[in-house]
Amino acid sequence: MADIQGKVVVITGASSGIGATTAKALAKQGAAVVLGARRKDRLDTLVKEIEADGGRAVAVACDVTKRGDLVVLVEAGVKAFGKVDVLLNNAGIMPLSPMSELRVEEWDETIDVNVKGVLYGIAAALPIFEKQGSGHFINVSSVAGIRTFPSAAVYCGSKWAVGAITETLRQEVAAKNIRTTVILPGAISTELGNSIHHQETAEALAGFLTIAVSPQCIADAIAFAIGQPANVGVHEIVVRPSVQTL
């Protein structure tokens, strides 16, 4: 799309799954991508793949639970490419378990990554977007951000929060020519389930994920939102397998 060509897109959680797939897809369409994740070795490999295919990319080690890491990541985009047009807050975890298990440390980690990580990304990019007079926040939620499920109370809460934050941000920044989009994936083939340590829940999810579709469909949705004319905002997209009933 013409409106992707030349844009600079910062992506968290870029070392695998939706983040890595989206990075490659956007780079092929002419965007420069700034890749952030904790697994720097994977990012470096991804940068080489993108550059070998004629794209532009840089990688920065980034833990979204650390506000300073998000500042460094966004600033790396400005330093490398002169601007940042889009921040894709994609990093997330899903350590599901029944609340009766009292896995409070996992609850804390879920909030730190899924909610505070998004907020830290917004805090890093918003001043730049306001100074530029343009920008686009894309926050990855989940169908768990519009539905609730047993064993997913905290995860659902974190994803409902992402939706609420994104909508409220939209209301605040729309007049500043800053767009917001929330993406709500259903069953997608990613490493997200690896963060589940409660055996029964992990086994149930494995059965559910037999219907999962490729993260490419999420990358396509993200590209659609970015590629719209500047005066068009796509605020919410739900993408799931056509056979998914939840």
- Per-residue model confidence as pLDDT tens digits over 172-206: 999 999 999 999 999 998 888 888 999 999 898 88
Give whole-number Cα distances, 128 to 42, 75, 83, 132, 235, in Å. Answer: 28, 9, 8, 6, 21
* Contact between 76 and 37 (Cβ < 8 Å): no
Q: State the Cα–Cα distance between residues 116 and 66, nearest whole angstrom.
A: 9
Number of H helices, E strands in the chain: 8, 7
Mean pLDDT of 36-41: 96
- How high is the mean pLDDT of the chain? 96
Mean pLDDT of 128-155: 97
Give the homologous superfamily in CATH for domain 8-239.
NAD(P)-binding Rossmann-like Domain (3.40.50.720)
Residue 105: band (very low, low, confident or very high) from pLDDT cuts 50, 70, 90? very high
Return the minimum-mean-pLDDT range out of 154-163, 190-199, 215-224: 190-199
* Contact between 162 and 118 (Cβ < 8 Å): yes
- In sequence order, which ranges of 140-191 are alpha helices (DSSP H)? 153-173
Encode 218-230: b = buried (16+ Cβ within 10 Å), e = exposed: bbebbbebbbbee
What local confidence, expressed as pLDDT, does residue 34 receive? 98
Q: What are phi and psi of 143, to 5 degrees?
A: -60, -20
Residue with structure tokens 């990613």?
Answer: 190
* Tokens representing residue 44 in the block: 């470096």
What local confidence, expressed as pLDDT, does residue 2 receive? 57
| pLDDT tops 70 at residue 26 | yes
| pLDDT tops 70 at residue 159 | yes
Closest CA to 166 of 110, 126, 224: 126
- What share of the chain has pLDDT > 90, as a percent? 92
What local confidence, expressed as pLDDT, does residue 106 receive? 97
Mean pLDDT of 23-27: 98
Sheet with 86-89: strands ordered across: 56-61, 32-37, 8-12, 86-89, 135-140, 178-185, 236-239
Total-model pTM: 0.95
Return the minimum-mean-pLDDT range out of 31-45, 51-65, 149-163, 179-193: 179-193
Mean pLDDT of 89-99: 97
Mean pLDDT of 4-17: 97
In a 13 Å sphere around the CA of 236, the CA atoms on its Cβ side amount to: 15
Residue 208: band (very low, low, confident or very high) from pLDDT cuts 50, 70, 90? confident
| pLDDT tops 90 at residue 36 | yes
- The catalytic residue positions are 155
What local confidence, expressed as pLDDT, does residue 139 receive? 98
Residue 11: band (very low, low, confident or very high) from pLDDT cuts 50, 70, 90? very high
Q: State the Cα–Cα distance between residues 190 and 124, nearest whole angstrom.
A: 27
Contacts of 148 (CB under 8 A, 6+ apart): 156
Mean pLDDT of 14-38: 97
108-137 pLDDT, tens digit each: 999 999 999 999 999 999 999 999 999 999
